[in-house]
Amino acid sequence: MSAQIPGSVPVAKGAVCYGLDKISKGPRARKRLTDLRRALRKLPSNRKGLAEIFDLYVLKFVFKETTRRQIVEHLNEFWFDPRSSRGYFKDVPVAKIYADGVIQALDLSLDRKGRPVQLDCWWTIDGSAGEIQLMSLTERDSGQTTSNTITLLIQTPRPKPISRAKPEPPWILGKAEAYVTRREGRSVTTKRVKSLR
């Protein structure tokens, strides 16, 4: 999840999505994911402290400290702190929904021996019928994850702009790519999301 996203952008891969992808790959991925899952489960039932857990167990592996601080402040102010006067979704337990959805994805990733299943996380905007929901998508057989990835979709309504400033790309961090095919006027077009403004 990120700051401002223009109306033409339906999907993004912000700091937490990108970080979850990164920590699920490479040497010691199992330990990183296990540590994150354990820390998430230890949070109180309202999941207070979620942004700080993401900082310690996800963001520190991919971002410099100054950037991490800005990300954590943003997550608390606009997404996870229900007491924030600037929260995007008042009266919605965003932190609980988000934490519990990530725990589900981690459970699926870690349920087989050896290397965990890699995560591929995306934030989709406007596709959730007005609700905040997280969905873990994968293949399973005999009670075990058999696919090579788990797609974690974080679906939210489009947040209202927090300022008059023009949203700044990138909408998608890293080497990930997304394309959107939709009707525009009388035509059907496919566009690369990184090029949308």
pLDDT tens digits, one per residue of 64-85: 999 999 999 999 999 999 899 9
SS3 content of the chain, % helix, strand, coil (to 5): 35, 20, 45
55 has pLDDT over 90: yes
4 has pLDDT over 90: no
152 has pLDDT over 60: yes
Structure tokens at 156: 């939210």
Q: Model confidence at 143, in pLDDT bands (50, 70, 90)? A: confident
Which ranges of the chain does DSSP label H, i.e. alpha helix? 15-23, 29-42, 50-57, 65-74, 94-110
Q: What's the confidence (pLDDT) of residue 197? A: 84
- DSSP letter at 172 equals B
59 has pLDDT over 90: yes
Mapped onto helix, strand or coil, the DSSP state of residue 120 is strand
196 has pLDDT over 70: yes
Q: What is the pLDDT of residues 43-54, one digit of tens each?
A: 999 999 999 999
Provide mean pLDDT across the span 171-179.
Answer: 92
| Mean pLDDT score across all residues of the chain | 93
- Is the model's pTM score more than 0.75? yes
Q: What's the confidence (pLDDT) of residue 3? A: 61
Taking residue 153's Cβ as centre, other Cβ atoms within 10 Å add up to: 20
Provide mean pLDDT across the span 147-167.
Answer: 87
Lowest mean pLDDT among 26-35, 88-97, 116-125, 153-162: 153-162
